[in-house]
Every structure is written in C-alpha cells, then in structure tokens.
Amino acid sequence: MNIIIAGSGNVGRYLAKKLVKEGHDIVIIDTNKDILKEVESSYDLISLYGSCTSFSVLKEAGVANCDLFIAVTNSEDSNVLACVFAKKFGAKKTVARIDNMEYLSPVNKLSFINLGIDRLIYPEYIAAQEVVGVIKQTGTTEIFEFSGGKLTMFVIKVDENSPLRNLMLKNFSTLTTLRDFRIAAITRDFETIIPNGETILKTNDYIYIITLPEIMQELLAAIGISKLELHNIMILGGSRIGIRTSKFLESQLNIKLFEIDPEKSKKLVDMLPNTMVINSDGRNIDNLLDEGLEKADVFTAVTGDDETNILTCLMAKRYGVKKVIAEIENLDYIDVASRMGIDTIINKKLSTASMIYALTMKAEVAMIKCLTGTKAEVLEFIVSKDAIVTKNQLKDIKFPQGIIIGGIVRGNKSFIAMGDTQIRQGDSVVLFALPDAIGKISKYF
C-alpha cells in the first residue's frame, strides 16, 4: 500500500517502523527537520518537510495515489483538516487523531465521515478504556474483548506461589476440568513463545489466555487468582487518561485524583463531580500516605512522565497496594518496569497503532491488538467467501509458524478452536501471531 503519515511523533514513528517492515511504501510529513532526518536514516521511507495541511506538500507526497492517509500530529485541527484535504485529492482512506471526546458520538462521527474522514482515533480514550478493563478484572494484567465481548483474552503473571509454576501445559487438567480456553502464548525473558503440551510454565512468565467470558472468573479461581473487592482507587495525574478513567468509574468507586497544578485542579473539580480532586504533588510519598495510600486497592499513575509513573507505582506497591497500573510511553522501559513489579502497563502508541494497523490488512480485520511486553499481536479476522481456512479442518491447514488460532465466534455462539474445527464464511476468528507470521496470515482469511 501507498501510505502517508502526517506527524513523526511517538505514534507516527512507531507506525512508520511497523508498516515499513510489512513492505508498505511510506511517506512521512512533519515540520521538524531534525526528527525527519532521524526517521529517514532509521527506516526505509521518504520524509517530506512541510505542513500536512499544505496543498503543495500533500501533492508532493503523492496523495492522489494514496491508499491510506494517517494524520497523527499533536494538533487535532491539523489532523482533521489534512484528512479532509487528502480525501478531496484522492486518498482512498483517511484516519485522524483527535483529542475531543465529543467527536466520537455517533451523530458527530457521521459528520466526519461525510467530510471524508473514515476513522477517528482518540488515544487517551482508548488507554482509559484499557485501564478500566484491568481495574474491573483485577486478577489480570491485561484484558481484551472480541466480537462485542463474545470472546475474551486476558494476561496473567506466574508468581512464586502460583499453582501454575513448573506446570507442564498438558497437565493443566489437574487444576481444572474447564476446557473452553486456549493458552495462546507465553512471554519469558523478552521472548514470546507459542506453547505446546510439553511447555513448562516458569516464575515470571506472562501467559496469554483466550476463553469464553462466562467461564473467566471460574478459570481464574482455578489457577489461584481471586477477584479483589474494590473500593478505593488512587489516580496520579489529571491527564486526559486520568480524567477519562475517573469519568468511567467515579459513580461506582471511591476515587482520589492527584493533580499538582492548582488551576487545573480547580477545573477538574467541576469536570469530575464524584471524584475527590486533590491539589498535591503525588510524587511525595507523605502526601499519598496522608490521603490513605495504604488503604487503596488500585493505584494508577498517568502523569505523562514515564519515570514518575514507574517510581510512584513502585512506592504504592511497597505500601501494600494490591494493583498498580502505569502509563509508560517509552517502549524500552516496558520490560524493565514489568520485572520491577508493576502489574499493568498502558501504552498509548501501541493502542493507537493497533486500530490504525487493522486498516492496512488485505483481509477484513475487526480488531488488532499490539500487546505490551511482547512483539506479538492478537488479531480478529472476519472470514470471507472461499477463504483458504474454509477448505479443510484446522489440523489440515498449513499455517505459517508463529500462528495459533484461539477462538471463533459464529453468530451468537463462541467456542475455542480445536484441530477438527471447520471454519465457515462469516466467522470471526481470533488468533495470536508472532511478527514474522503477521504479513503472511491475511491470505488465509
């Protein structure tokens, strides 16, 4: 595909790196010459200096032959306007990063579609949804739903006291009689493993499990993870993620939100009527203790500063908080932070890239999730007519190495894939794929 990316910030660079590896032709536009030089020297793409709302720049970038135009600059107005122009000049699909929740209402989304913008992406809203999902399922480090909640994938960590420690997967039946789940992958020592029956689980492994939502709690209980009773949540940072998380949860839980800026704190009081907004430096452990840190069930740090988020989460863990969640944008920090004991890591660029990347696949993709802590991805494909996967039972189809089929949704029914499963046209298929296999899998669906 011919793809133009407007904006070479964190999201733009991450997308460029990923899409170049997939063999797409990429042009990246930005007004920062230094960043463009760095990007062009690192990746096999074309960089173009200038404004993404300039007609001449868009034409020079080749927008008339563009299959996908992605606007992810720091300016919402520029992103929207650039997409409108790009569509008028011939771009087949356009995606705009936005910062306004109002735009995502169904009526307003239709207005943007009529303007020529095919997809709106609000990274902070996506990240806040992930935080809320993890808080509601406190025994997991990550949780994702597919096909409107008909299939669930969650991630757990094997600790020293876990019944999973030193367990061979073929002996999983000694823990539970449940069968409607699939261990799709394991992350161990910076490597991702597609397991088989002989795989032995080890301390500090992260396990990715696809299952039916109705048995999730029973499955968690069987492997020694009980759902925590939640009452008190602390959020550090009045960022967009902090605000959206509070809005999602403030009617159900006791929330204290710490914001160091006094003027912003005053605005947050009006925005969050059921949240206790505290104008205080949450980096100071005494301030957190004075506000009841030791009684908190969950501590979430979303200040926008990775170091602050990591350190405050570690302090919260030290004082007995059961669950800590940190926003970390530097991908190099993620593995280290996980090893240090942070339960869940949220990364906006991965969340945003997942949604955009789905538009580049040849097959119909309902969802892609780029996972934190691993290079692998979970994809949900909609099976087309006469697709290769419909020709034989799964055991007779030669998939690329690094692929494992997890679950299938057929109409209102969902089930875990087995060797004798026959996939049909219209099925939603959730699978786990390692990087080398991702570009090879579309043709099967």
Spatial distance between the Cα atoms of 438 and 402, rounded to a whole number of angstroms: 9
Highest mean pLDDT pick, 47-61, 192-206, 223-237 = 47-61
Same domain, 115 and 74: yes
Decide which of 78, 101, 121 is a domain's last residue: 121
Query: Residue range 191-200: average pLDDT?
Result: 88
Same domain, 361 and 410: yes
Q: What are the pLDDT digits (tens) for 208-244?
A: 899 998 998 899 888 888 777 889 999 999 999 999 9
Query: Residue range 373-392: average pLDDT?
Result: 86
Q: Is the pLDDT of residue 371 over 90?
A: no
Asked if the structure places residue 180 within a domain, the reply is no
Describe the strand order of the beta sheet including 364-370 as a list of residue ranges.
Answer: 364-370, 377-382, 428-433, 403-410, 413-416
Highest mean pLDDT pick, 139-143, 161-165, 361-365 = 161-165
Asked if the structure places residue 136 within a domain, the reply is no
Spatial distance between the Cα atoms of 211 and 117, rounded to a whole number of angstroms: 35
Whole-number percent of the chain with pLDDT over 90: 53
Q: Is the pLDDT of residue 50 over 90?
A: yes
Q: Is the pLDDT of residue 173 over 80?
A: yes
Residue 279: burial class (beta carbons within 10 Å; 0-12, 13-18, 19+): middle
Asked if the structure places residue 347 within a domain, the reply is no
Q: Which residue has the higher pLDDT, 361 or 406?
A: 406
Answer yes or no: are the C-beta atoms of 159 and 224 closer than 8 Å. no
Tell the residue number behind the tokens 């908080």, with chain if given: 321
Token pair of 105, please?
């209402």
Tell the residue number behind the tokens 């899409």, with chain if given: 19
Decide which of 90, 121, 152 is a domain's last residue: 121
Describe the strand order of the beta sheet including 206-211 as a list of residue ranges.
Answer: 142-146, 151-157, 206-211, 181-188, 191-193
User: What is the reported pLDDT for 48?
Assistant: 95
Backbone angles phi, psi at 44, to 5 degrees: -85, 80
From the list 140, 100, 91, the residue with the least C-alpha distance to 122 is 100
Query: Residue range 241-269: average pLDDT?
Result: 94
User: What is the reported pLDDT for 362?
Assistant: 67
Spatial distance between the Cα atoms of 171 and 378, rounded to a whole number of angstroms: 25
Same domain, 299 and 371: no
The SS3 assignment for 342 reads coil
Asked if the structure places residue 435 within a domain, the reply is yes
Q: What are the pLDDT digits (tens) for 55-105?
A: 999 999 999 999 999 999 999 999 999 999 999 999 999 999 998 888 888
| AA letter at 146 | F
Tell the residue number behind the tokens 């010459």, with chain if given: 33
CB count within 10 Å of CB 319 equals 14
Same domain, 17 and 85: yes
The enclosing domain of 82 has a CATH number of 3.40.50.720
Number of compact structural domains in the chain: 3
Q: HSE (CB half, 13 Å, CA atoms) of 373?
A: 26
Q: Is the pLDDT of residue 417 over 80?
A: yes
Asked if the structure places residue 333 within a domain, the reply is no
User: What is the reported pLDDT for 273?
Assistant: 95
Asked if the structure places residue 85 within a domain, the reply is yes
Query: Residue range 359-382: average pLDDT?
Result: 76
Q: Which residue has the higher pLDDT, 227 or 411?
A: 411
Answer yes or no: are the C-beta atoms of 53 and 79 closer than 8 Å. no
- Secondary-structure percent of the chain, ordered helix, strand, coil, rounded to 5: 40, 25, 35
| AA letter at 183 | I
| AA letter at 341 | G
Q: Is the pLDDT of residue 292 over 90?
A: yes
Task: Write out the residue range of the structural domain in which residue 420 sits.
Answer: 352-444
Answer yes or no: are the C-beta atoms of 414 and 408 closer than 8 Å. yes
The enclosing domain of 411 has a CATH number of 3.30.70.1450
CB count within 10 Å of CB 129 equals 17
The three-point CA angle 213-218-219 to 5° equals 80
Spatial distance between the Cα atoms of 77 and 52, rounded to a whole number of angstroms: 11
Q: Is the pLDDT of residue 431 over 70?
A: yes
Asked if the structure places residue 160 within a domain, the reply is no
The SS3 assignment for 364 reads strand
User: What is the reported pLDDT for 108?
Assistant: 84
Q: Is the pLDDT of residue 138 over 70?
A: no
Decide which of 69, 93, 121 is a domain's last residue: 121
Same domain, 113 and 8: yes
Q: What are the pLDDT digits (tens) for 329-348?
A: 888 888 888 888 898 888 88
Give the pLDDT band of residue 259 (cuts 50, 70, 90): very high
Asked if the structure places residue 227 within a domain, the reply is no
Same domain, 116 and 6: yes
- H/E run at residue 334: helix 331-340
